[in-house]
């Protein structure tokens, strides 16, 4: 995969209301597989709706709540907001 022109950050650091593209999952293989099964695999777009200790996100039309540790293990490229 080529280097992203956008900053790489963990999902827990993504500001509420903004969108990122999942680039990498860290953690043990069981965690990564479960996250992929929930639709949060590499290249999926995720919008963080709210949260710091628990992150409420929208991925592929579903709302997911992730604890802080799980959100730290999902690395995203922070995509710029679309002009209005």
Could you tell me which residue, 4 or 49, shows the higher pLDDT?
49
- Note the pLDDT of residue 84: 56
Has residue 34 got a pLDDT over 90?
A: yes
- Note the pLDDT of residue 4: 60
Write the pLDDT tens digit of every residue in 11-25. Answer: 999 999 999 999 999
- Walk me through the domains of the chain, giving residue ranges and CATH numbers: 8-78 (2.30.30.90)
- pTM beyond 0.75, yes or no: yes
Nearest alpha-carbon partner for 44 in 84, 67, 74: 74
Has residue 26 got a pLDDT over 60?
A: yes
Residue 14, Cα to own-chain centre: how many angstroms?
8
């Amino acid at each position: 995969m080529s280097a992203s022109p956008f900053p790489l950050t963990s999902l827990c650091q993504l500001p509420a209301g903004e969108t990122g593209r999942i680039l990498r999952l860290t953690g043990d293989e069981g965690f990564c597989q479960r996250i992929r099964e929930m639709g949060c695999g590499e290249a999926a777009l995720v919008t963080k709706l709210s949260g710091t200790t628990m992150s409420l996100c929208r991925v592929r039309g579903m709302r997911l709540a992730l604890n802080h540790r799980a959100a730290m293990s999902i690395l995203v490229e922070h995509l710029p907001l679309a002009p209005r």
